[in-house]
Structures are given as structure tokens and as C-alpha cells.
């Protein structure tokens, strides 16, 4: 989970863009390296796909426990 924000930060900074932090302060670009920015973009995209797949897998596992195994795992999570 830490890979996604780090790669997004590096991708933005190395592409010569600044990051506006909710209007509180701005992080300026300190270097421009478009090759490394492209690598960071690919890492960021792959991490997003992996993260989405893990969320879907987690939801499917909860449904598996609820509908197939009928072991009340989903009910215990929902009531807590």
C-alpha cells in the first residue's frame, strides 16, 4: 500500500509538475527525469490494478464464507 503514494508522488514531481497539498502548501518539482517518471507511472498503474484485485478478492472471500461455508464471518464483521 505504500508503493502507490510513493510512485504517484515521484511520477508527479519528476514530470515537472507541482503538488498542491489541499491549499495548505505546494511541493515544487525539484528535478525533471521523464524516463524515471514513466517508470513510476507504470509502477503506479500496476499497483492500482493489484490493489483493486486484492479488494475484489477480499470481498469475494467474504461472500464465499457467507454463502458457501455459512460460517457467519460476514455477520460477525458487519455487527462489530
| Nearest one of 18, 14, 17 to 35, comparing CA atoms | 14
Residue 18 pLDDT > 80, yes or no?
Answer: yes
Model confidence pLDDT, tens digit, residues 43-72: 999 999 999 999 999 999 989 999 999 998
CB 31 within 8 A of CB 13: yes
Per-residue confidence (pLDDT) for residue 49, from 0 to 100: 98
The domain limits of the chain are: 3-79
| Nearest one of 63, 70, 51, 74 to 3, comparing CA atoms | 51
Cell numbers 460477525 correspond to 76
Per-residue confidence (pLDDT) for residue 73, from 0 to 100: 84
DSSP 15: B
Per-residue confidence (pLDDT) for residue 76, from 0 to 100: 84
Average pLDDT over residues 10-17: 94
What is the pTM (predicted TM-score) of this model? 0.79
Amino acid at each position: 500500500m505504500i508503493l502507490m503514494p510513493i510512485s504517484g508522488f515521484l511520477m508527479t514531481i519528476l514530470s515537472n509538475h507541482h503538488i498542491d497539498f489541499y491549499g495548505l502548501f505546494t511541493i515544487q518539482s525539484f528535478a525533471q527525469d521523464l524516463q524515471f517518471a514513466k517508470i513510476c507511472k507504470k509502477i503506479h498503474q500496476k499497483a492500482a490494478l493489484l490493489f483493486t484485485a486484492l479488494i475484489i478478492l477480499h470481498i469475494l472471500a467474504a461472500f464465499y464464507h457467507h454463502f458457501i461455508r455459512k460460517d457467519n464471518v460476514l455477520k460477525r464483521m458487519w455487527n462489530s
